[in-house]
Structure 1
Amino acid sequence: MTRASVLIPIHDKPTTLPLTVDTVLRQTVADLEVLLIGDGVTDDVRAVVAELTDGDERVRFLDFPKGPHHGERYRHDAVQEARSDAIFYLCDDDLLLPDHVADLLSLLEEHSFVQSLNGEVRPDGSVRFYAADLGDPEVVAMHLRDDIRFCSVSITGTAHTRALYDAADDRWDTTPTGWWPDHWQFRKLMRHPSYSGATSSRMTALQFPTSSDGRDTWSAEARVEELRPWHALVVAPGAQDEIDRRCESGRREQLVEERATIALLQRDLAWLRAEHEQTTEQKDWLRSKFDESQGHLEWLKGQHAAALATIERLDAKVARKDEVIARLRAKTG
């Protein structure tokens, strides 16, 4: 049986797709297949796909019309079509290091859901990481919360067993508004009792997210120009060592940035605490004034009641005197 099936959803990126697929076909695990999941592909993409399928029999094309959202439903069909029990995912503008499939296959021997060390490559060439350890129950719990959007999983760099997918209560389908497709789908797998997660210690998948660093405004040529030197690096000898070096440098830089961010947050927290204390003092002062006012109000109510009683007594005296005067007037004619 084929050892790994790499699923690549495609729609409108003909320039980067050949570079992406090439890095899959260069894996140290040669017994694999590439399933290109067409979601209403453009004519340019279709032409590229024809060259890829003609060039290597391990590449297959599943041609679907344009579906809702990103055609997530078709990924279920692709899983069913896959010839392997190890299901891998990859975006059509990302790259794999040669040992990616081998690394994750090793993890899948003991786990059902695994990923490469997760992060992204920025336009300046630096590497940044997503906080992820899929073997940590607390990290998994964060993914499953509905009140926040915490996600450290991506399409690129993730793999799972067919057994976990088949056991899940729900499968790939159209993503609800407000959710990321990978987050929404993979949460379903994380909920299953047979879920067992692991994250590799190495970054073997390079991500260049369209949604970050302004890439959503780049032309197709600009996107492929970014990928070409990275592709050259990935297919060259010693590629993983170079990526490991960049990751180590990126960790240090990110640690410095995060420490600076923490320092700012601590400063803001101290200010908020001071504001809170001042507000508490003001609240206590206002409460004491309110209590004083309440006491004064009660005293005034007592004075008012006493005054009303006095007025009623005086009114009664006046009324009696008026009666006396009226009788005297009657007697005197």
Structure 2
Amino acid sequence: MSLPIQATIILPTTADRGLLLPLCVSSIRRQVIQAFELFIIGDGVDEPTRAVVHDLIRQDDRIRFFDHPKHSRRGEVYRHQALQEARGTFVAYICDRDLWLPNHLEVLAHHLQKATLVTTNYYYVRLDQQLVLPYLLTSPSQTARGILSAAGHRLDFYHRLPYGWRTTPNNRPTDLYMWEQMLAHADCRVAVAWQPTLLYFKRNDHPGWPTAQRYEELVRWNALLQTPPALQPVMDKALISAAYERNRYRESWVLLRGRRISELPDWFRTKLREWLKLPAVPKAGENGLPAPIELDY
């Protein structure tokens, strides 16, 4: 007898993602909570990606594929259509470039016993392959800073929303547009889980890094996720650094946005390049490939 489905997982994807999907789905299949259904939402996938999805379905009958033509934005309406068929108590999301830690669904389920919307903290994987906690969310007021792969909400709450997922206006993040709708609802009860429960890989604005380059990075982290003794020191180092930076910020009056004065010129140059859409200037020793992961403190 099959267990009742606890989580409906929404995994949006598009063309040229066939290399990444098995790694992302592998992190889903290693969840402590196994009573889930996985909806892969195709937004204009190509034939190689479609073949990978069908192979994943053959391996796991909890996976369903919703195959759609390319949408004008990110296929938000396709997510809404799929959620009309969802059977989970709650909904979780993951980008095809990110990897969940095994406790991700478990943490969401715990907080969604009382909350209707929750976001967890997350480890951002830097270009030098070190982990950092970019914001260390601690308050429900910071929910709008949450990313798609860290968010979850109750399904019954979703069905009470005025619109649900809908086409996002240009120049607005699709996930932020959705969270704002939820936060404006009178029944919204927000929770923030302090635990980081995923590895987040943002590599420039959409579409970002080529898929082959993303694959080289994700494949090594996917291997680390399957070797907890090797991964734990890396996560510990990120938590210690976050605590140190938080204390330094609170104790010093010569910091701006948490940075020393000597660090500001590089930070301003980086921001200016982002605003002007200029290519990033590589630092000494960077060649665009993942650097070895340092496990020592």
Q: Is the 8 A contact 2:115 2:190 kept in 1?
A: yes
1:102 aligns with 2:106: yes
Distance, in Å, in 1 between the alignment partners of 2:117 and 2:139 is 8
In the TM superposition, residue 257 of structure 1 has moved relative to its aligned partner by 8.1
Hey, what does 2:69 align to over in structure 1?
A: 65
Hey, what does 1:207 align to over in structure 2?
A: 200
Distance, in Å, in 1 between the alignment partners of 2:136 and 2:104 is 20
Distance, in Å, in 1 between the alignment partners of 2:129 and 2:243 is 15
Aligned CA distance change for structure 1 residues 239 and 27 (closer, same or farther; 3 Å): farther
What is the correspondence of 1:1-333 to structure 2 with a 5 Å cutoff?
1-12=4-15, 13-126=17-130, 127-130=132-135, 132-136=137-141, 139=142, 151-211=144-204, 216=208, 218-238=209-229, 241-242=232-233, 244-252=235-243, 254-255=245-246, 263-265=254-256
Aligned-residue Cα RMSD (Å) equals 2.6
Distance, in Å, in 1 between the alignment partners of 2:230 and 2:99 is 12
Q: Is the 8 A contact 2:138 2:194 kept in 1?
A: no
Give TM-score, length-normalised by structure 1.
Answer: 0.70
Q: Is the 8 A contact 1:97 1:240 kept in 2?
A: no
Aligned CA distance change for structure 1 residues 263 and 8 (closer, same or farther; 3 Å): same
Hey, what does 2:266 align to over in structure 1?
A: none
Render the CA deviation track for 1:67-115: whole Å, top value 9, x for unaligned: 1111111110121121212100000010011111111101111111011
Distance, in Å, in 1 between the alignment partners of 2:95 and 2:255 is 36
Render the CA deviation track for 1:176-224: whole Å, top value 9, x for unaligned: 0121000001110011111111111211111101336x992x3322111
More deviation in 168-177 or 182-191? 168-177
More deviation in 218-227 or 93-102? 218-227
Structure 2: which amino acid aligns with 1:64? H
In the TM superposition, residue 121 of structure 1 has moved relative to its aligned partner by 1.5
Identify the structure with the greater strand proportion.
2
Distance, in Å, in 1 between the alignment partners of 2:214 and 2:252 is 31
Distance, in Å, in 2 between the alignment partners of 1:204 and 1:21 is 15
In the TM superposition, residue 174 of structure 1 has moved relative to its aligned partner by 0.8
Aligned CA distance change for structure 1 residues 210 and 79 (closer, same or farther; 3 Å): farther
In the TM superposition, residue 132 of structure 1 has moved relative to its aligned partner by 2.7
Hey, what does 1:291 align to over in structure 2?
A: none
Structure 2 unmatched ranges of 5 or more: 262-297
User: Structure 1 stretches (4+) deviating beyond 4 angstroms?
Assistant: 256-262
Distance, in Å, in 2 between the alignment partners of 1:32 and 1:243 is 29
Distance, in Å, in 2 between the alignment partners of 1:255 and 1:100 is 25
Distance, in Å, in 2 between the alignment partners of 1:72 and 1:243 is 35
Structure 1: which amino acid aligns with 2:238? C
Distance, in Å, in 2 between the alignment partners of 1:252 and 1:83 is 39
Hey, what does 1:293 align to over in structure 2?
A: none
Q: Residue 38 of structure 1: SS of its match in structure 2?
A: strand
Q: Kindly, what percent of the aligned residue pairs are identical?
A: 31
Hey, what does 1:326 align to over in structure 2?
A: none
